[in-house]
Amino acid sequence: MYIREALQILARHKTVIMVAHRLHTIRNATTIAVIENGQVIESGTHDELFAQEGRYKKFWHDRARAEQWQIEI
């Protein structure tokens, strides 16, 4: 079983605060809060945040570009 699937099962009917650097880990969260300098700058579902031109969407685009990086030897 994958960690994300296990977390979804364990979190059912509970409030869970999760800190994540991997965006896919939190994609299905009911509410996602983007925190910068100790302040919540955006919050909502994945779809709501992705529809905005904010930090969350930029994180997703930056992550997608980083996955394409290659080190040439």
The residue with greater pLDDT, 47 or 20, is: 47
Predicted TM-score (pTM) of this structure: 0.71
Which residues lie closer than 8 Å to 16 by C-beta, 6 or more apart? Answer: 7, 10
Give residue 50's pLDDT: 92
Give residue 18's pLDDT: 81
Mean pLDDT of 37-51: 95
Mean pLDDT of 49-71: 85
Residue 34 token pair = 């983007």
Give residue 1's pLDDT: 57
Residue pLDDT, tens place only, 15-34: 888 888 778 878 888 899 99
Residue 42 near residue 56, CB atoms below 8 Å: yes
